């Protein structure tokens, strides 16, 4: 299960198969239902159990139908079919000849990508599988409905595009107000107060002590290899910590971005979108002056230098590093941040 705090969504899949299989399907059509719930609010209103009850009762009232399964994805985007596990499972069961008719609440629940959605419907039509959209009252097996389905699918796709733009605007507006909508990084948790829209970053000590240990070793002049060995971490993990301004209490927005609302591909922001730097956004884990000094060490290449001669000469030119190592051995070295205010 994946929690995405920025979108308040949970990504999870559900499947229901009737406990008692029918003795015979002769003369009856095998019916399935597909559900997609996008948000926690929808999940509360249309829980999986509620939808199982609804479709089970609806199909049982039709003597020509037999319920063979209910497929449901929660929190997954309607634009990307490949990530919806139960949707893909349903299509595989269709290809295997296990389903004759599928019930869906609406076109947007089936797909918000017009081209992909219509392609799937055409394939199901070739397999002789009927898809019934309850809200729109559409039947995919009727040739006259293809144009209408295309219009609805395009509308659903445009709605997703509009929602994406609205979310982007909201993120920018909140960042400008000093309250960016993003997940807290390692070492922090987000706390909220009733009636207060601000998202407070608070230190999570169990992880923060690891961050301090990494900075302490770097501040003492230990190499990246030595830090990784001592902390049992990968080089990329250590580098990510040393470069993250959040540990000195600041925050930079839009470090990454999605190319477009449909592909969801995430890339590094190298100037494609404006960024906002928020100073003193939260309580630092590492003293800002120490953070800047360590970052300088890393960017200068001294922490990555593998040459013994280069490292020795660098250490000789910085006698304070040996003093810090002695203080660390004595248990008196601290890199901790200072509280705001």
pLDDT over 50 at 273, yes or no: yes
Find the helix packing angle between 205-219 and 224-231, rounded to 10°.
Answer: 150
Judge whether 33 lies within some domain.
Answer: yes
pLDDT over 80 at 232, yes or no: yes
More confident residue, 227 or 50: 227
- One domain, residues 143 and 246: no
Dist CA 144 CA 104 (whole Å): 19
Q: How confident is the model at residue 4 (pLDDT cuts 50, 70, 90)?
A: very low
pLDDT over 60 at 2, yes or no: no
Which range marks the domain in which residue 104 is found?
Answer: 2-160
Query: Residue 25 has what pLDDT?
Result: 63
- Of the three residues 122, 140, 160, the one that is the final residue of a domain is 160
- One domain, residues 7 and 140: yes
pLDDT digits (tens, 9 = 90+) for 61-71: 999 999 999 99
| Counted domains in the chain | 2
Judge whether 292 lies within some domain.
Answer: yes
The domain that holds 114 is classified in CATH as 3.40.50.1390
Dist CA 22 CA 224 (whole Å): 64
Judge whether 43 lies within some domain.
Answer: yes
80-110 burial, b at 16+ Cβ within 10 Å, e below that, comes to: bbeebbbbeebbebbeeeebbbbbbbebbbb
Query: Residue 126 has what pLDDT?
Result: 92
Mean pLDDT of the chain: 81
* Contacts with 67 (C-beta within 8 Å, 6 or more apart), sequence order: 18, 31, 32, 33, 55, 56, 59, 60
Judge whether 335 lies within some domain.
Answer: no
Lowest mean pLDDT among 169-183, 212-226, 244-258, 280-294: 169-183
């Amino acid at each position: 299960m994946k929690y995405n705090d920025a979108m308040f969504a949970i990504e999870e899949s559900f499947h229901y198969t009737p406990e008692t299989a029918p003795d015979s399907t002769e003369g009856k059509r095998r019916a399935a239902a597909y559900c997609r719930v996008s948000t926690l609010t929808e999940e509360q209103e249309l829980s999986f159990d509620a939808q199982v009850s609804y479709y089970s009762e609806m199909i049982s009232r039709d003597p020509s139908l037999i319920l063979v399964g209910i497929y449901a994805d929660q929190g997954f985007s309607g634009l990307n079919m490949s990530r919806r596990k139960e949707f893909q499972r349903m299509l595989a069961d269709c290809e295997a000849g296990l389903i004759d008719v599928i019930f869906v609440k609406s076109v947007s629940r089936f797909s918000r990508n017009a081209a992909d959605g219509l392609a799937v419907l055409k394939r199901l039509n070739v397999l002789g599988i009927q898809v019934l959209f309850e809200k729109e009252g559409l039947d995919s097996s009727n040739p006259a409905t293809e144009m209408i389905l295309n219009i609805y699918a395009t509308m659903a796709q445009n709605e997703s595009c509009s929602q994406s733009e609205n979310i982007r605007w909201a993120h920018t507006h909140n960042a400008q107000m000093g309250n960016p909508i993003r997940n807290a990084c390692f070492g922090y948790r987000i706390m909220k107060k009733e009636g207060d829209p601000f998202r407070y970053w608070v230190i999570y000590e169990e992880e923060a002590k690891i961050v301090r240990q990494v900075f302490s070793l770097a501040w003492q002049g230990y190499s990246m290899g030595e830090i990784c060995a001592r902390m049992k971490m990968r080089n990329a993990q250590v580098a990510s910590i040393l470069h993250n301004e959040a540990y000195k209490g600041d925050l930079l927005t839009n470090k990454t971005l999605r190319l477009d609302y449909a592909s969801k591909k995430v890339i590094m922001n190298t100037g494609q979108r404006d960024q906002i730097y928020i100073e003193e956004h939260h309580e630092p884990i590492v003293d800002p002056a120490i953070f800047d000094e360590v970052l300088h060490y890393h960017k200068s290449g001294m922490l990555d230098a593998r040459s013994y001669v280069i490292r020795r000469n660098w250490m000789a030119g910085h006698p304070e590093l040996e003093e810090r190592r002695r203080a660390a051995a004595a248990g008196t070295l601290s890199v901790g941040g200072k509280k705001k205010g």
